[in-house]
Structure formats: structure tokens, C-alpha cells
Amino acid sequence: MTEPADNLRPRAALHLIWTVPLAVAVTFGAMFWMTLNWCGVSGCSGGGFGRISDPSLGGVLLGSLLMAAAWFAAIGAVPWHRSRAVRFGVAAAVAIVLTVIATLAATAVFAR
């Protein structure tokens, strides 16, 4: 069997089928965590128990860090390319972009 000329490893890339959905699940959990830490149990509208008086920026930062680590591990750990530098570079770029998008989506409703 011949190897692809562009250094891609298609058989190893199949592991992305389970690592990427796992990173998506961690992302949604982290987004829930960020919303809960910032808005409280009642949500950002303040219904029920009212708005939270002291939102936690640390919870938002922790959620963002968790998302970035999950995406970096999901893409960087799978040997879909022979070069480790290429894998880690792509993983870092994807992790940063998706974390920023998810954090902005999760925190857009509770800008104070």
C-alpha cells in the first residue's frame, strides 16, 4: 500500500470522528458553566430568584480555558499528519478560533 504524497494519514484521521464530538460536548458543558457563573440560576433575565449580584469572571475564564484545552487535545493528539508542528499549529489555531466564538456566543446575552 502506498502512502499519500502530502503526508496525511487518513486511517489515523478517523480518530477525529470521536474526538471532535467529545470536544463539542465539553464546549457545550463549558458554555453552560459560564452562563451559570455569570447569570446565576435564574438566568440573565433575572426571573425567578433575580439577577446574580456578583458575576464570576473567573468562571468564564475557566470555561474558556477548558474549551481551548479540549479542542487542542481533540485535534492535536490525533496523528492525522506526520509533522507534529503542523498538527499542533492547526490545533492551536482551531482551538483559539472556536473558543473565542463559543465564549462570545455564551456571554453575549449577559454583557453588563
pLDDT in tens, the chain (112 residues): 555 556 777 788 788 899 999 999 999 999 888 878 777 776 666 666 666 667 778 888 899 999 999 999 999 999 888 899 999 999 999 999 999 998 888 777 655 5
Q: Where are the domains of the chain?
A: 15-43+53-110
| Angle ∠(61,43,104) on CA atoms, nearest 5 | 40
Q: What tens digit of pLDDT does each residue of 7-32 get?
A: 777 788 788 899 999 999 999 999 88
Within 10 angstroms of residue 48's Cβ, the number of other Cβ atoms is 9
